[in-house]
Amino acid sequence: MSSSMSRSEPPWLRLAMRIVIGLCLARSGDILVMGGAARLIFHGVDKIFPGSSSLLPGGGRINLTLRRVARPAGVPAA
């Protein structure tokens, strides 16, 4: 853990379903993959630690959402 991150700081990511809360620390470059029923769980980023990445000079995060959508049965390909 770098000196800019303290274990006393709140985590970056919180996963919650009903009243059960799971916490995980995601570092710069980490990827979280949610599939099946897990993708329906409410989730969010609580905190971004300043100076934890040089990718975005002004700070922030990059969010990519990828979905595979199946063609309905009987619908021909374009």
Distance CA 60, CA 74 (A): 44
Domain positions in the chain are 1-78
Q: Tell me what pLDDT residue 3 has.
A: 46
Digitized pLDDT (tens) for each residue of the chain, 78 residues in all: 444 555 666 666 666 556 667 788 888 888 888 888 887 777 888 888 888 888 888 888 888 888 777 877 888 877
Rg (CA), the chain: 17
Q: Tell me what pLDDT residue 13 has.
A: 66
pTM: 0.48
Report, in this order, helix, strand and coil percent for the chain, each rounded to 5. 5, 20, 75
